[in-house]
Amino acid sequence: MSEATRDAATETEALTALETLLGYQFQNRALLLRALTHRSYINEQEDQGLQNNESMEFLGDAVLGFLVSARIFARFPDFNEGELSKIKAYLVSAANLLHLADKIHLGDFLFLSKGEDKAGGRKKRAILADAFEAVLAAVYLDGGIGAAESVLARQIESLLASYDAQRPTSGDFKSALQERLRSMGSPEPMYEIVDEIGPDHKKVFVVEVRVQDRVLSQSSGRSKKEAQLAAARMALENLKKQ
């Protein structure tokens, strides 16, 4: 939502729609409003006493990590620490957080400045990933860990259900892609950083996987390694569709 549309009636309608998508009704909607408020919007509303969602994103990151760890521990009780860590890294990757944000159309509900809105902020990976974590924090603050677990479970269940413990995970994606391309008679893939989004303390890297002049995929991550792994995974999925 842009500055021009932030009024009481519009807020109520939008928050109700988002609550339906989340499957959770807030007791204190001010928490949800803050979770949806990007710092760019605050910069245009300095006299309104509003708060942005950055500290809530910090809390949401911790809540997300705990809940995902607990869920995969319960799902895969016989896995060792390394195997569980790989699954967790996969589920909380920037690419999957973007997927989860898109599932609830989170970009449509964000409060952005006019400039950020025009610059495509509603589709930016970093903004959406941070906002998803902030919304999870808002649920936790409003309803406790049980409410946050219920909301997250609905969002990630499809990811967990489709997860194949025998397929490549984390560090194996790059080698799996290399082997797949070799079997096709293609040259080795090249990974190129095409963009860096956000401040230094929480930068998001955007990486493309190329074979010669052909782009196989593009993805992002909070480190260069994570972005490369996510891009390799997406490239494998794209190759399977061909």
Q: Are 144 and 129 in contact (CB under 8 A)?
A: no
Radius of gyration of the chain (CA): 19
Considering 57, 133, 142, 208, which one is annotated as catalytic? 133
Is 237 catalytic? The answer is: no
Q: Are 219 and 207 in contact (CB under 8 A)?
A: yes
- Does residue 116 have an active-site annotation? no
DSSP-assigned letters across all residues of the chain? --GGG-SHHHHHHHHHHHHHHHT---S-HHHHHHHTB-HHHHHH-GGGT---SHHHHHHHHHHHHHHHHHHHHHH-TT--HHHHHHHHHHHTSHHHHHHHHHHTTGGGG-B--HHHHHTTGGG-HHHHHHHHHHHHHHHHHHH-HHHHHHHHHHHHHHHHHT--TTS--TTHHHHHHHHHHHHTTPPPPEEEEEEEES-GGG-EEEEEEEETTEEEEEEEESSHHHHHHHHHHHHHHHHHH-
User: Which two structure tokens, joined as six digits, stand for 135?
Assistant: 């919304």
Which among 61, 116, 117, 130 is annotated as catalytic? 61
Check if the beta carbon of residue 170 is closer than 8 Å to that of residue 89.
yes
Q: Which residues are catalytic?
A: 61, 133
